[in-house]
Amino acid sequence: MPDGKRSPIGWIDVVWLLFILGLALLPPIAEIHKQLTLAAIGIFQVLEGSLVARLPARGRVYSVLIKIALATLLLDHTGEIGINSSYWPIYLVPVVTAAIYFGPVATLGWTALASAAYCSYLYPALSIEQNELTTEGLATLAIRNLFFFLAAMLVNRFVVEKRRQVARYQALSETLEETNRQLQRAEAEARRSERLAALGQMSAGLAHEIRNPLGVIKGSAEMLAQKLADATPL
């Protein structure tokens, strides 16, 4: 990229937009509200990173809430009865997002909220006189909701384990850095000790060399004094 700038859209976003485009080409194609909702989902997916970066704590909450709302809106425009919409797996998007952003307990809470949003379409469906919740329909609904929780837990477990590995690697890196600093300090102390030892040896040698001439001079002076004392006075 020119000037060393990175593109704001990554390859994951491109894949996501292609997925949205694929949904847009599926029936009901002429439903304008469906297309607008899909467009909103795609745009938000691209802008989500900026939102989370600006608001690290609240941005994640807003992200999951917005995705649940958009998923609920999409079901409302992709079937005569929202609960029967073939687009129900779209709720996996906020579920997986929550699993990536939060811990296990919070992930379960967000998944329960997404499940409740999906099941909320039961009320308008059952309000129609001809409709009733059969055993088979209840089982289908339960299976779909269980898959929400299954996907949430699987993704969250993977993410949590990944975070633990990163934390372990970071702790190991910090330990290695501290060990390296200690080794550098030890090497510096060893070099300093070697320099001091060499300086001490040099000082001892110089002192020895200085003492020897002084001893010779002292001995010569004593001998001269002795000879002068023994000499016959004139």
Global pTM reads: 0.71
pLDDT in tens, 116-163: 999 999 888 777 756 677 888 889 999 999 999 999 999 999 999 998
Q: Residue 154 corresponds to which tokens in the numbers above?
A: 């699987």
Between CA 93 and CA 99, with CA 96 as vertex, the angle to 5 degrees is 150
Summarize pLDDT for 75-104 with one digit per residue, the tens. 999 987 888 899 999 999 999 999 999 999
Helices (H), the chain: 11-24, 32-54, 58-76, 92-101, 104-119, 122-126, 135-230
Q: Where on the phi/psi map is residue 4: left (φ > 0), alpha (ψ -120 to 50), or beta?
A: left
